[in-house]
Amino acid sequence: MFAAKTIKWVAAATLALTASSAMAFEPSGKVECIAPSDPGGGWDFTCRSVGNVLEELKLVPASVQTINMAGAGGGVAFAHTVSKRKGDDQLLVAASTATTTRLAQNQFPGMNADMVNWIGAVGADYGVIAVSKDSPYHNLNELMDAMKQDPRAVKFAGGSANGGWDHLKVLIAAKAAGVENLPRIPYLSYNNGGEAMTQVIGGHVDAFTGDVTETQGFLKSGDLRVLAVLSDERLPGDLADIPTAKEQGIDAVGPNWRGFYMPADIDDDAKQYWVDAIDKLYASDQWKKVMKSNGLMPFHPDSSEFEAFVKQQIQDIQSLSKEIGLIQ
């Protein structure tokens, strides 16, 4: 009798275990990745390159389809995800520091970071502050000391709009260095980083603010001197000679990270599947090759840290944006 009961119990337990294993989430059919921009550019690159590697690693059952959804600097895609795709566990949306900047500056009206699931980052392009080879400034402290004397002493050029990420990187560094009256720091916005660097090299503007990958050509030619990279530690390879702002006593970090969010209301096991998939992708040789060939630098906080990082970045950008009068 006892043996029969035991056999029944073991059989029931096995059945329950099998059922629970069967219930563990796995994507089925087509996975979509929304790039909140036209083809080309950072978000499109994130969807297409990550999609290719997910397929290669067999972390998706079929293809990953990139859907371009431009508009409102990512706002159209964010609104679509929040209002129309709740519970969709087969949808990834490309995001970056541009996403957190716009959330911080209330450019997605009525929406906030809590309305989506933040899944993970797959690398970053770190900010730099650079000058021409003939500049009188040889390190970041010399530049910041001039700005402490007069916040208008150094004119910056960047590829983002006024109040955008390139502009904010200067303000993050200046604030950390103890420069006062941040709204008075001159910033000139150009169509792209290349145009901004040309102005600096030509001697028309004092300093460039942008991402490290943009500077590599001018760095190799010797026309540009990078005073600091806004990363926690020195970057690998050819960029290892560039000092960080931190090692110069200025606690400023500015990663333009690339990663993903997903819709709200997805099951925990579905969220966990995608968090794990991004972890596996990031650790793969295939992704390391993509990073190397596209100048992406290491940046991959674990999932709980990533969400906290996103929210902290929004808070920091919000307070800076208020300080320079961009938002109330």
- pLDDT, tens digit, for every residue of 260-269? 999 999 999 9
Q: The whole model's pTM is what?
A: 0.82
Q: Is the pLDDT of residue 8 over 60?
A: no
Q: What are the pLDDT digits (tens) for 232-255?
A: 999 988 889 999 999 999 999 999
- Contact, 90 vs 270, CB < 8 A? no
pLDDT digits (tens, 9 = 90+) for 81-115: 999 999 999 999 999 999 999 999 999 999 999 99
DSSP codes joined into one string, 193-204: HHHHHHHHHTTS
Tell me if 215 sits within 8 A of 129, measured CB to CB: no
Query: What integer is the mean pLDDT of 33-53?
Result: 93
Question: Among the residues of the chain, which ranges form H helices?
Answer: 2-23, 42-56, 75-84, 97-104, 140-149, 165-177, 193-201, 212-221, 268-283, 285-294, 303-323
The residue behind tokens 């050509």 is: 217
User: Chain-wide mean pLDDT for the chain?
Assistant: 91
Cβ burial, residue 103 (10 Å; 0-12/13-18/19+): buried
Number of CB atoms found within 10 A of residue 228's CB = 24
Cβ distance 211 to 193 under 8 Å? yes
Residue 325: what pLDDT?
87
Q: Which residues contact 271 (CB under 8 A, 6 or more apart)?
A: 89, 117, 119, 262
Would you state the pLDDT for residue 326? 85
Task: Assess contact for 242 and 229: CB atoms under 8 A.
Answer: yes
DSSP labels, 228-277? EE-SSSPPSGGGTTSPBSGGGT-----EEEEEEEEESS--HHHHHHHHHH
Query: Quick one: pLDDT band at residue 23, thresholds 50, 70, 90?
Result: low
**Pairwise CA distance, residues 34 & 46, whole Å:** 10
Task: Show the tokens assigned to 191.
Answer: 């169509």
d(CA 308, CA 75): 21
What pLDDT is attached to residue 323? 87
Q: Can you give the pLDDT at residue 14?
A: 46
pLDDT in tens, 122-177: 999 999 999 999 999 999 999 999 999 999 999 999 988 888 899 999 999 999 99
Pair 170, 254: CB distance under 8 Å: no
Read off the pLDDT band of 258 (50, 70, 90). very high
Between 15 and 70, name the one with better pLDDT.
Answer: 70
